[in-house]
């Protein structure tokens, strides 16, 4: 019986994540027509020598980071957003790679 609430909350999280993605695609122009996001390995490091600031952002915090000036890191080959799948305890979610450009850091 203890496993049931964990499954329920994970299912609820997946539902909310799918709903958020659907709403974002419906409301943001061009987002539904872009390339499919690219899944990266969990240990991926974009460019350790770059002056830009990189951060992995959970799906639920994407809007907050965009308000702070972060943009999606685009895959050099396809131009798609990049994400990784992470698991913390029994919870599995996606985190997207975002970047704060060097010009915004200096400001």
* Sequence-ordered list of residues with C-beta below 8 angstroms from that of 33, at least 6 positions apart, any chain: none
Host domain of residue 47: 3-106
SS3 75: coil
Encode pLDDT of 34-85 as tens digits.
788 999 887 887 776 677 888 999 999 999 999 999 999 988 888 899 999 9
Please tell me the predicted confidence (pLDDT) of residue 10.
Answer: 57
Q: What is the pLDDT of residue 26?
A: 62
**Beta pairing, strands 71-72 & 91-100:** antiparallel
Q: What is the number of domains present in the chain?
A: 1
């Amino acid at each position: 019986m203890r496993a049931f609430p964990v499954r329920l909350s994970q299912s609820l999280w997946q539902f909310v994540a799918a709903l958020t993605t659907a709403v974002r695609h419906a409301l943001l122009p061009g987002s539904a027509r872009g390339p499919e996001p690219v899944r990266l390995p969990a240990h991926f490091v974009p460019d350790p020598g770059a002056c830009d600031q990189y951060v992995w952002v959970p799906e639920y915090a994407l809007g907050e980071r965009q308000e702070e000036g972060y943009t999606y890191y685009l895959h050099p080959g396809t131009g798609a957003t990049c994400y990784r799948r992470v698991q913390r305890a029994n919870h599995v979610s996606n985190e997207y790679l975002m970047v704060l450009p060097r010009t915004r850091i200096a400001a």
